[in-house]
Amino acid sequence: MSFVNLEQQGGIAIVTMNRPEALNALNDQVLRDLDRVLDEIEAKEDIYVVILTGAGRSFVAGADIGQMKDFSAVEAKKFGAYGNQVFLKLENLTKPVIAAVNGFALGGGCELAMACDIRLASDKAKFGQPEVGLGITPGFGGTQRLARIVGVSNAMELILTAKVIKAEEAQRIGLVSRVCPAEELMAQAMELAQAIAANAQVAVRQSKAAIRRGLQTDMATGTAFEAEAFGLCFSTLDQKAAMTAFVNKEKLDGFQNR
């Protein structure tokens, strides 16, 4: 049985972390299942946007402490390295990924959400990096992504105190872009995904790549990559059709994504 389910609705993929009896905690098998699903999504050209959520009352409550507690230093490093490898694959997926955070997003769960491109939260969601309270550091990118997303001071406070925050506080500091009632979360995530899927997908993917690359480099290098992405779009059928329709004051009848 897979701990990560994949469902496709039109051009939208819905990925569900499905280990609810353990609050979707991340162990070796869950990471392997997620790794496999990400490869499947990348290979499917008819998937344009991904929604990632959790089964039950948790998004992902963290890494599996029961598995980790007896790790040696070597085993822990190997586990962290593999988790980071999978989360980097998620972050660098060519298709945009929306995290629909339905409940607990703690430790590895907060790190999983941060590897997504956009984060929406239920009003019941809670976020945190409580690792130092267990004698360890964040291990799946938390020390790196959190500071990039919410700033150094906020990241230091969250990580060094191990405190857990509610969805409204997560929105205030910029960890999530939107908080909505629990019963509306998936509908709002789907509405957002459909809005992204309705645009020219070459341009969408190049825009995501430009943002991601720019976050890792200096302004000159980032804008040079943006210029490459901008130029590439002018070789697409969608650019020709959309700009011609605009100039002619005509309505464009969808994109070919070519």
Tell me what pLDDT residue 194 has.
98
Tell me what pLDDT residue 1 has.
60
Residues acting as catalytic residues:
111, 131
Tell me what pLDDT residue 92 has.
97
What DSSP character marks residue 161?
H
Of residues 94, 102, 70, the one with CA closest to residue 188: 102
Q: Where are the domains of the chain?
A: 4-197, 201-247
Of residues 98, 87, 88, 86, the one with CA closest to residue 47: 98
Superfamily of domain 4-197: 2-enoyl-CoA Hydratase; Chain A, domain 1 (3.90.226.10)
Task: Please list, in sequence order, all residues whose beta carbon lies within 8 angstroms of the beta carbon of residue 189, skipping any fewer than 6 positions away.
Answer: 51, 53, 98, 100, 120
pTM of the model: 0.95
The CA distance from 96 to 111, in Å, is 17
Give phi and psi for 9, each to the nearest 5. -120, 100
Domain 201-247 fold is: Lyase 2-enoyl-coa Hydratase; Chain  A, domain 2 (1.10.12)
Same fold, 4-197 and 201-247: no
Tell me what pLDDT residue 190 has.
98
Provide the mean pLDDT of the chain: 96
The CA distance from 168 to 127, in Å, is 10
Low-confidence ranges of the chain (pLDDT < 50): none
Tell me what pLDDT residue 169 has.
98
